[in-house]
Amino acid sequence: MLVFRWRGAVIGRAFVPVTDAGLPAAAITAAAKQHLMPDAVRTWIEDVLEFDERGESGVSAFSAAVAICTRERPDDLDRTLQSVTALDPAPREILVIDNAPATTRTKEVAARFPAVQYVAEPGRGLNRARNRALREATTDIVAFTDDDAAPEAGWLGALLVNFQDPRVMCVTGLTLPHELETPAQELFEEHCSFVRGFARRVFNGRIDNPLLVARAGAGANMAVRASLGKDVGLFDERLDAGTRAMSGGDHEMFTRILSAGYRLVYEPHAVSWHRHRRTLEEVEQVVRGYGTGVYAMWTGLLVEKHNLGVLRLAWNWFRWDHLPLLRSVSRMRELSARDRLRKAELLGCFAGPGAWLSERRVGRTPS
């Protein structure tokens, strides 16, 4: 994977074959010519004209906390904390939210970093941990990064500058793969990459469809106003990792933010590097969780918000993606790795409604 930058900002990428002989300069030039339109041209023009739609770039009067919600991944957490403690500008607070800890390993890692505040959250679930971070933070903004991600030094500053617009409630960033060392990692990046392009985009709740939030980014790389709970509501604790729904908590929040009339910004200058799972079995489990989370989220919107738009989305996804898969699977003796992922996603979708109803029955806290 080649990553192209202009004055530090990522403006594109390309995948090229590499042999033991290396990659000649001509191949890099050819890849750049092929893949750097139009986002790169837009970035170059804005730089030449000294135009920045963010406003006064690099200036932020907001205080910020960085929250890392984690559970029993001490090695990954150590790498993430090394990145977070090197941020420039530095956050006022760094919170490690240890979600339903089974050992003291997370606490021991956090203790090696003097600037880190360790918080144990006994209730299991990623959204419980996110809500705990919002309650613990004493800052204007809370930025979230996964425990298997490594933000670049300028990540926080790139997120914060977007909050100068008072209508912006959430900002997401560009998440690239930390490594592509196994076929499973390459397949994950091909099938469900976190990359949402290389141009800044503003999603307006008064214009954009609040249900179409997959293009807006992911919770592995996002920042929200600390007033989120008061203005929109807290994260729905019936969704995401640690629940039967397995995912969907970030996108449900994005939908709620846009439905409330606020704005959400995708900011590619806020770069973080995510370590994908290394085996096909692990990736299948993750992708199945994505399918479960989407349909769990849609079930909640249908049952509680009476939002009939989710029925159209579910039907279109099934018709154009899952139905062709079912037809092809019936003719195959052995599935390719790509089709195994698509099958896992489909099985997750089928499980989504039941997962949400189960979480509702056990009395999980809604938003």
Contact 308, 302 (CB under 8 A): yes
Could you tell me the pLDDT band of residue 60, with boundaries at 50, 70 and 90?
A: low
Whether the per-residue pLDDT at 199 is higher than 70: the answer is yes
What's residue 86's pLDDT? 98
What's residue 237's pLDDT? 96
pLDDT in tens, 83-118: 999 999 999 999 999 999 999 999 999 999 999 999
Whether the per-residue pLDDT at 230 is higher than 80: the answer is yes
Average pLDDT estimate for 222-226: 98
What's residue 57's pLDDT? 56
Residue ranges of the domains in the chain? Answer: 2-49, 64-278, 281-361
Across-strand partners of 116?
Answer: 94
What's residue 366's pLDDT? 58
Could you tell me the pLDDT band of residue 287, with boundaries at 50, 70 and 90?
A: very high
What's residue 87's pLDDT? 98
Q: Looking up tokens 């000649």, which residue turns up?
A: 24
Q: Looking up tokens 């929040």, which residue turns up?
A: 253
CA distances from 112 to 85, 93, 108, 109, 223 (A): 11, 16, 7, 6, 25
Q: Both tokens of residue 127? A: 């959204």
Shortest CA distance to 232 belongs to which of 212, 209, 254, 204?
A: 254
What's residue 39's pLDDT? 82
Characterize 151-182 residue by residue with b for buried, 16 or more Cβ atoms within 10 angstroms of its Cβ, and e for exposed.
Answer: bbebbbbbbbbbbeeeebbbbbbbbbbbebeb
To the nearest whole percent, how much of the chain has pLDDT over 90?
81
Q: Which amino acid, one-letter code, is at 260?
A: A
Average pLDDT estimate for 229-258: 97
CATH of domain 64-278: 3.90.550.10
What's residue 114's pLDDT? 96
Average pLDDT estimate for 25-41: 88
Whether the per-residue pLDDT at 125 is higher than 90: the answer is yes
CA distances from 227 to 134, 140, 231, 232, 280 (A): 8, 8, 6, 8, 40
pLDDT in tens, 136-170: 999 999 999 999 999 999 999 999 999 999 999 99
Average pLDDT estimate for 249-274: 97
Could you tell me the pLDDT band of residue 18, with boundaries at 50, 70 and 90?
A: confident
What's residue 191's pLDDT? 92
Contact 231, 253 (CB under 8 A): no
Compute the distance between CA of residue 244 and CA of residue 266 in angstroms, rounded to an integer: 28
Average pLDDT estimate for 30-36: 90
Strands 221-225 and 141-146 turn out to be antiparallel
What's residue 284's pLDDT? 97
What's residue 122's pLDDT? 97
Residues in the chain: 367
Whether the per-residue pLDDT at 58 is higher than 60: the answer is no
Whether the per-residue pLDDT at 21 is higher than 90: the answer is no
What's residue 43's pLDDT? 85
Give this prediction's pTM: 0.94
Average pLDDT estimate for 189-218: 94
What's residue 367's pLDDT? 53
